[in-house]
Amino acid sequence: MSFSVAIIGRPNVGKSTIFNRLTGKKLALVDDTPGVTRDRREGAARISDLSFQLMDTAGLEDVSDSSMEARMRLQTEQAVEDCDVVLFVIDARAGLMPLDSFFADWARESNKPVILVANKCEGSGGDTGYYESFSLGLGNPVQFSAEHGLGLSELYDALKEQSEFLVPEMPEFDDTDGSEDTLNIAIIGRPNAGKSTLINSLIGKERLMTGPEAGLTRDSIAVTWQQDGQTLRLYDTAGMRRRAKVQEKLEKLSVSDGLRAVQFAHVVVLLLDSRSPLDRQDKILAQLVAREGRGLIVGLNKWDLVEDPQKVRRKVEEMLDLDMPESRGVPILSISALTGRGLDKILPAIRETYETWNKRIPTAALNRWIDGVVTAHPPPAPSGRRIKIRYATQIKTRPPTFVVFCSRPDDLPDSYRRYLVNSLRESFDLWGTPIRMRMQGGKNPYHDKSAR
């Protein structure tokens, strides 16, 4: 088996930059603003032949109340408890701070092997802080620069020494984000819709930081969940507001990170606050999911706080049908992430949507369908010449994508294309997934094949 490493330290000492350097990917948001990281992020890391699981954590603060900083510290404490080795990072350019000494004692008391990393040691600006760090009593510090990749060999030696006490034999490094059997699920929505609370309730533990403050989540955090013998990867994303309201650089980075999570997802859960469902931003998010070709589920969260449930649900269904025809028939679940109400419906709905997203329809069945829809409602006849629809085939799944061969495809009205898509959805039970349909000129390639 492999081993796990947690990166801890004060805010803004470069923990996320180290995380990105060792994982070889820009997974964690990096900015000069202190406290960018709030939830712990995990990723597969590698230095030469040494592979391990790495955890990035929030900056440590000396607080123990109910504040956001205190909840961030609890997440870091949990990461230290779960890991095998601790990387304690200081900012060598800023020099040793009183908080560094305080948390060095705390790390020592964790009874986990601690490797001291003096970061930002490029040039001579970090020499003073590097020499001061010896006084922390955590052994010889590793002189490091995450920004420039300096000190990797020294860090490798320190980790290798610790790993030999943890695992007798190192496995081959696997740089994949999961096998094809892993189901990727992104949870998106406006700020304070309850996305982190939903994931915590699903997996049964406080893995993500939650609270009444809007915008707590900044990174897209991937949480792996084993359920009924299946591996699911849940992506918690930052709340997405209207573009006009997003002014700060950090929020723009958070939103971009969330959009990338949608691109990697198989199924997306759009979480709405039932007390104010489906505003303009929610519609934009639903349209984004359809544009990316992902399966969609709508979750009406905080359902226990709704005064007139039937009215709210009817309103959401009507708005989805009228304003977002590409989301017709999408599952709408009434849930409460806080109380657990309705959460047992989420996983079956996700799996059903995923199966639909992967659905393949035989060509023979498609062409029987074509004969039926053309007979029931023939194509128009612009300029007195009726358009002929000859043949249809599915060219890919994820999402289901079809090519319909016809005469003069450019003259076929959008209204008739919508008729074909709606009929296809109803005939083959393709609810909750976008449908791609391309009209193409040319004859049926199988027509009169024997006469050639």
Query: Which element (helix H / strand E) includes 393?
Result: strand 389-396
* pLDDT value for 160: 87
Could you tell me if 9 and 157 lie in one domain? Answer: yes
Give CA–CA dist 220/234, Å, rounded. Answer: 10
Domain of residue 247: give its range: 183-357
Q: Are 83 and 111 in contact (CB under 8 A)?
A: no
> With contact defined as beta carbons under 8 Å apart, do 248 and 286 qualify?
no
The pLDDT assigned to 64 comes to 64
Give the global pTM.
Answer: 0.65
Task: Specify whether 118 is located in the same domain as 157.
Answer: yes
Q: Are residues 94 and 158 in the same domain?
A: yes
Q: Is residue 120 part of a domain?
A: yes
Could you tell me what percent of the chain has a pLDDT over 70? 81
Domain identity same for 66 and 147: yes
Of 308, 334, 357, which one is at a domain's C-terminal end? 357
Residue 312 lies in a domain: yes
What 8-state DSSP symbol labels residue 144?
Answer: -
- Count of alpha carbons within 13 Å of 220, Cβ hemisphere only? 27
Does one domain contain both 148 and 198?
A: no
More confident residue, 364 or 444: 364
Q: Say if 171 falls within a structural domain.
A: no
Question: Residue 361 above 70 pLDDT?
Answer: yes
Given the structure tokens 């908080």, which residue do they identify? 99
Tokens at 411, concatenated:
């003259």
The amino acid present at 258, given as its one-letter code, is G
Whole-number pLDDT of residue 62: 65
For a pLDDT cut of 90, what percent of the chain falls above it?
40
CATH code for position 350: 3.40.50.300
Three-state secondary-structure class, residue 231: strand
Residue 168: predicted pLDDT: 41
The CATH code of the domain that includes 447 is: 3.30.300.20
Q: Does any domain span residue 200?
A: yes
**CB count in 10 Å sphere of residue 108:** 15
Examine the domain organization and report whether 312 and 200 are in the same domain. Answer: yes
Q: 213 by DSSP, 3-state: which?
A: coil
Task: Answer yes or no: are the C-beta atoms of 188 and 195 closer than 8 Å.
Answer: yes
Q: Specify the pLDDT at position 372.
A: 95
- Please state whether the peptide bond connecting residue 399 to the residue before it is cis, i.e. omega within 30 degrees of 0: yes
Structure-block tokens of residue 342: 């309705």
Tell which of 336, 357, 378 closes a domain.
Answer: 357
Shared-domain flag, residues 193 and 161: no
Domain boundary among 132, 166, 200: 166
Is residue 431 within 8 A of residue 329, CB to CB? The reply is yes
Q: Rounded mean pLDDT of 366-381?
A: 94
Residue 21 has pLDDT above 50, yes or no: yes
Residue 341, beta-bridge partner list? 336
- For 76, list phi and psi in degrees, rounded to 5: -65, -40
Report if residue 275 sits inside a domain: yes
Q: Is residue 279 part of a domain?
A: yes
In terms of DSSP bridges, do strands 389-396 and 401-406 run parallel, antiparallel, or are they unpaired?
antiparallel
Q: What is the C-alpha to C-alpha distance for residues 303 and 300, in angstroms, rounded to an integer?
A: 6
| pLDDT at position 179 over 80 | no
- Give the total number of structural domains in the chain: 3
* Beta strand segments in 163-318, E: 183-189, 221-227, 230-236, 267-273, 295-301
What is the structure's pLDDT at 301? Answer: 95
Q: Which of 117, 153, 150, 154 is nearest to 136 (CA)?
A: 117
Q: What is the enclosing helix (H) or strand (E) of 394?
A: strand 389-396
What's the mean per-residue pLDDT of the chain?
A: 82
> Do 117 and 251 share a domain, yes or no?
no
Would the pLDDT of 3 be above 50?
A: yes
pLDDT at 384: 86
Based on the fold, state whether residues 330 and 367 are members of the same structural domain.
no
Strands (E), 62-150: 85-91, 114-119, 142-143
Q: Are residues 284 and 408 in the same domain?
A: no
pLDDT of residue 209: 59
User: Are 114 and 129 members of one domain?
Assistant: yes
* Structure confidence by residue, pLDDT tens digits, 284-332: 888 888 888 899 999 999 999 998 999 999 888 888 877 777 767 899 9
Q: Residue 228 has what pLDDT?
A: 86
CA 136/CA 130 separation, integer angstroms? 11
Do residues 134 and 188 both lie within one domain? Answer: no
Sheet bearing 4-9, strands edge to edge:
41-47, 50-56, 4-9, 85-91, 114-119, 142-143
Position of tokens 């002014």? 247
What integer pLDDT is reported at residue 445 of this predicted model? 54
Among the residue ranges 243-247, 320-324, 437-441, the one predicted with the least confidence is: 243-247
DSSP for residue 181 = T
Handedness of CA 130, 133, 135, 141 (dihedral sign): negative
* pLDDT (average), residues 218-232: 81
